[in-house]
Amino acid sequence: MFKAEDGFTFVEIIAVLIVMGVLAVVAVSRSFNYNAEVYSGADTLKMHLRYAQTLAMNSNPTSTGVPVIWGMSSGGASYWLFRGTNPAANFFRLPEDDKYVNSDRTINLTAKKIQLTNFITIYFDNRGIPYTAYTDTTNNTPLAGNSTITVSPLSGGATAVGVTITPLTGYIP
């Protein structure tokens, strides 16, 4: 009669190999860090700078003709949006996920797992022109050349992304 054979069939072996291959692909893909935080943080920073510029361009000058200034500044592990010529006052909330916004309406870079270098306080007037200093319409310092803010991982990894602000136009590529 029929003799019972011990072992696996060819179909069972192929099925096990396919399952192991899928598990290996998932495990390997999760072990690589593609620095998504850095690229996402750079894109968000660009969006926030453009937002500040848009607010400035949509603000009508005051009754005396003085433009309403909007800007962004950074300090340590956060950056923020402000209105006026004093970056330490008049904070406004940037459009951002609540988990990245501190109670003082600043963006928490530690929670985003990124850090910024070369960040300067930037002011925008009602024409969208970027400035590095702005006291009034006659005492201001327009951005002299391209200003690049570097976004890098908090852990100090090799990947870094530059966010450039162009003088005169305020274009942020």
Rounded to two decimals, the pTM is 0.77
Give all domains of the chain, ordered by start, each with its CATH number: 36-165 (3.55.40)
Cα 6 to Cα 2, 10, 13, 80: the distances in Å are: 13, 13, 14, 70
CA angle 121–71–86, rounded 5-degree value: 75
Query: What per-residue confidence (pLDDT) applies to 63?
Result: 61
What string of pLDDT tens digits covers the 173 residues of the chain?
566 677 788 888 899 999 999 988 887 766 665 578 899 999 999 999 999 999 999 987 766 666 789 999 998 899 999 998 889 888 999 998 889 999 999 999 999 989 998 888 999 998 899 999 888 777 888 999 999 999 998 887 778 999 999 999 999 98
Number of Cβ atoms within 10 Å of the Cβ of 83: 18
Query: What per-residue confidence (pLDDT) applies to 90?
Result: 87
Query: What per-residue confidence (pLDDT) applies to 1?
Result: 59
Query: What per-residue confidence (pLDDT) applies to 4?
Result: 65
Query: What per-residue confidence (pLDDT) applies to 36?
Result: 83
